[in-house]
Amino acid sequence: NDVRLKLSKLNQSQLKTLTLIALGFDKPISGKEAQAKLDLSSAAITRAVRILEDEALIVKSDENQLSIVDPLFESVLAQYESENVE
């Protein structure tokens, strides 16, 4: 499965960041709220975003809003997160 293969290549920081984007997080991605949700530093989030952009998994709009390129990815990540909420 292509989605599973791509997800298996991501590290924990990238996966956490991608999942937050999939859930429609609309605040600054490396801001304090995102850092608290992800339990990552601003630098780690910024690095993850750069790699996810380089891998063409996410894109940034003119308004600096991040979104997932493949709707199937977004669906899978949102489903996974909703099943694994604390």
86 pLDDT more than 50: no
Q: Tens digits of per-residue pLDDT, 46-84?
A: 999 999 999 999 999 988 899 999 888 888 887 777 665
Tokens of 66: 């991040």
**Those residues with Cβ within 8 angstroms of residue 70's Cβ, 6 or more apart along the chain or in another chain:** 3, 57
Q: Tens digits of per-residue pLDDT, 35-51?
A: 999 999 999 999 999 99
- pLDDT value, residue 11: 95
Q: Give the model's confidence band at 23: pLDDT under 50 very low, under 70 low, under 90 confident, else very high.
A: confident
